[in-house]
A = this chain, B = another copy of it.
Amino acid sequence: MKKIDIFKKLRSSGLRPTKQRVEIAKFLFERDKTFHFTIESLDKFLAKKTTFKFALATIYNTVHAFKKAGHLSEVDVRGKKTYFDTNITNHHHFYDNETSELIDIDASEVVIQKIPKAPNGKKIKNIEVFINLKN
- Say yes or no: B111 contacts A123, CB within 8 Å: no
A:72-98 near B, CB below 8 Å: 74-78, 82, 94, 96-97
Task: Give 22 A-B contacts (CB < 8 Å), ordered by A residue.
Answer: A94-B116, A94-B122, A97-B125, A103-B119, A109-B115, A110-B112, A110-B114, A110-B116, A111-B113, A112-B129, A115-B131, A118-B131, A121-B135, A122-B134, A123-B133, A123-B135, A124-B131, A124-B132, A126-B131, A128-B130, A129-B129, A130-B130
- Say yes or no: A126 contacts B119, CB within 8 Å: no
* Given A78-B82, A110-B114; 7 other pairs, CB 8 A cutoff: A76-B77, A94-B119, A96-B122, A109-B115, A125-B132, A126-B132, A130-B130
Q: How far, in whole Å, are A130 and B133 apart by their CA atoms in the complex? A: 17
Query: Is A127's beta carbon under 8 Å from chain B?
Result: yes
Question: Quick one: given A76-B77, A114-B109, are A133 and B128 in contact (CB under 8 Å)?
Answer: no
User: What copy number does this chain have within its complex?
Assistant: 2
Chain B: minimal CB distance from A17 (Å): 29
Give chain B residues whose Cβ lies under 8 Å from the Cβ of A28.
none
Give the residue of B74, B110, B121 whose beta carbon is less than 8 angstroms from that of A115: B110
Q: How far, in whole Å, are A128 and B110 apart by their CA atoms in the complex? A: 12
Chain B: minimal CB distance from A34 (Å): 15
